[in-house]
Every structure is written in structure tokens, then in C-alpha cells.
Amino acid sequence: MEERDKRRVGEQIEPGGRPKAPGRLELLQRFINSHNHDFPPGWDRIGTPEKAAAWLREKGLVAPGDRISEAGVARLRELREALRALALANHGGGRPGPAEADVIRRAAGAARLAVAVDDAGRTALEPAGGGVDGAVATLLGILHEAQLTGHWSRMKGCRQCGYAFYDRSKNRSATWCAMAICGNRTKNRAYYRRRRASA
């Protein structure tokens, strides 16, 4: 893949051409994929206060005037990696580590959500605050909804690169973001390991 395309992975491009997660879960998927650890650290879409503000604004997660501090960036990135661990744990009903569960719990403590009701009586979870707190509240609201609908269990972290992909396979058996990228890498590594071991 060329660099120009690599930089679009997670936004315009999905590895393996998979469809994105359904409904609002797509936004949470994009958040987890705002950085791919196979790519240079400088490519992190929320890696600096300016980048984070621009990305969150584009996604409607913060208001146009909201500023993001360095501490805010650190909180968002910590939450992102904890959510990635949660997605990785979706392989075969595993659990995230206690530290990751703790990060999400702490984030939830500051995340205020309100039940909004429209004229038709339809309800929606909406953030009660702004800035990073509001963005975190929205993301955790989506996590909660996806767990209720059962969609969350199909959100998986690639076993090789950690990319969050939506597993639409019937038997929920997908392991890698894309067989052509990470599946083959894993297999090649195992092949060389076996060859070395037998040499």
C-alpha cells in the first residue's frame, strides 16, 4: 500500500475493504483507529491538541470553539488504547486487563450523559458537558448502546496490528483486519519461527 493510501486507513479506507461498523458505532471505530500502531507516531490523528481539536470538531464530538489541552490529548489517547484492549478482548469472549478496565471506568466517572427526548418521544443519549468531557461522554454512550444491541461483540482488534474492525462473518471468526495484510504477516512469522526452530 502506498503512503497516501496508508494515511487514509481508518477514515476513507478500510483494510480488506470491510464495511464499517453499523450506526453510531462507526464513530467509535474511527476513534479507535485514529492511530494505527504500525504507522509512524506523527500520523496519530489526535496526537497533538491542534490535531485532536480538528478531528473531534470534524466528527461533531466537540463544538467549534472548544480547545483541547495536552492533558486532554493524553486522556483521549489513554481511553483510545483502553477501548482497543476491549475490542481485542472480543476475540473468543476474553477480558481486557484490569488496568484498561480501570481507564474506562475513570473516563466514565467524568462523562455526564443526559437522555434527550424528541417530539416523537424517541430517546437519545447526549453529552451533558462540552470539550473533552463531552466527547468522552458521547463515545462511552456509543459503547453502551453497542453493548445493548450486541454489535459491540463484533468490534474486534486485529490480533496483529490492533486495528478495530467490524466482524460481519457468520461465525464471528475473523482474526485480522485483512488477511492480505496482517494474516499473511502472522503466517510468515510463524513459518520463519518454525523453520528456525527446526534448523
Chain residues binding Zn ion by CB under 5 A are 158, 160-161, 163, 177, 182
Query: Closer CB to Zn ion, residue 140 or residue 161?
Result: 161
**Please, what is the end-to-end C-alpha distance for the chain in angstroms?**
33
Query: Closer CB to Zn ion, residue 61 or residue 87?
Result: 87
Tell me how far apart the alpha carbons of residues 151 and 161 are, in angstroms, rounded to a whole number.
21
Tell me how far apart the alpha carbons of residues 99 and 136 are, in angstroms, rounded to a whole number.
18
Cell of 184: 499473511
Query: Closer CB to Zn ion, residue 37 or residue 112?
Result: 37
The CB-of-158 to Zn ion minimum distance in angstroms stands at 3
The CB-of-45 to Zn ion minimum distance in angstroms stands at 17
Question: 114-146 burial, b if ≥16 CB within 10 A, otherwise e?
Answer: eeeeeeeeeeebebeeebbbbbbbbbbbbbebb
The CB-of-88 to Zn ion minimum distance in angstroms stands at 11
Query: Closer CB to Zn ion, residue 25 or residue 181?
Result: 181
Tell me how far apart the alpha carbons of residues 174 and 159 are, in angstroms, rounded to a whole number.
10
Residue 100, φ and ψ in degrees, nearest 5: -70, -40
Query: Closer CB to Zn ion, residue 48 or residue 186?
Result: 186
